[in-house]
Amino acid sequence: MCGICGKLNFDEGARVEGGLLRGMLDTIRHRGPDDEGIFVASQVGLGHRRLSIIDLSAGHQPLSNEDGTVWIVFNGEIYNFQELRSWLLSKGHVFRTHSDTEVIVHLYEEHGPQCVEKLRGMFAFAIWDEREKTLFLARDRVGIKPLYYCETPKSLVFGSEIKAILADPDVPNEVAPEIIDRFLTFLYLPGEETLMRGIRKLAPGWHLLARNGRTELRQYWDLQFPARSRNISLKKAESELLDLLAETVKLHMIADVPVGVLLSGGVDSTAVLSFAAGSTDKKISSYTVGFSDSGIADERPYAKLAAETFGSRHHDITITAGDFQDFMPEYVWHMEEPVCEPPAIAMYYVSKLAKQYVKVLLSGEGGDEAFAGYSNYRNLLWLERLKKIVGPLNGAVAWGLTAANSVLHSSVLTKYAPLVKTRFPGYYYSRTSSPFRRSGNGLGSLYSSEFAASVDPERSLEPVRRLQAHVRDQKPLDAMLYIDTKTWLPDDLLIKADKMTMANSLELRVPLLDHKMLEFAASLPSDMKVHGFTTKYVAKRALANRVPRPILERRKVGFPVPYESWLRKELRSWVHDVLFDRTTTNRSYFSVPAVRELLARDEASSGYSKEIFSLVTLELWHRTFVEQRQAVVN
Contacts of 290 (CB under 8 A, 6+ apart): 298, 299, 300, 316, 317, 318
d(CA 50, CA 65): 19
Contacts of 523 (CB under 8 A, 6+ apart): 226, 229, 230
> Which entry of 2, 115, 150, 340 is annotated as an active-site residue?
2
d(CA 428, CA 417): 14
C-alpha dist (Å) from residue 308 to 191, 269, 311, 333, 547: 41, 14, 5, 37, 12
| 2 in active site | yes
* Stated length of the chain: 634
Q: Which of 145, 178, 168 is CA-nearest to residue 74?
A: 145
> 529 near 536, Cβ under 8 Å?
yes
Contacts of 529 (CB under 8 A, 6+ apart): 371, 372, 377, 477, 481, 521, 535, 536, 537, 538
- CB-based burial label for 577 (10 Å; 0-12, 13-18, 19+): exposed
d(CA 307, CA 277): 10
- Pairing relationship of beta strands 259-262 and 285-290 according to DSSP bridges: parallel
* SS3 call for 438: helix
Dihedral sign of CA atoms 179, 183, 186, 191 in order: positive
Dihedral sign of CA atoms 81, 83, 86, 90 in order: negative
d(CA 314, CA 287): 6
Strand partners, 177: none
Distance, C-alpha 628 to centroid of its chain: 26
d(CA 592, CA 573): 16
d(CA 219, CA 208): 9
Contacts of 320 (CB under 8 A, 6+ apart): 291, 292
> 248 near 279, Cβ under 8 Å?
no
- Pairing relationship of beta strands 507-509 and 360-362 according to DSSP bridges: parallel
Catalogue the active-site residues. Answer: 2
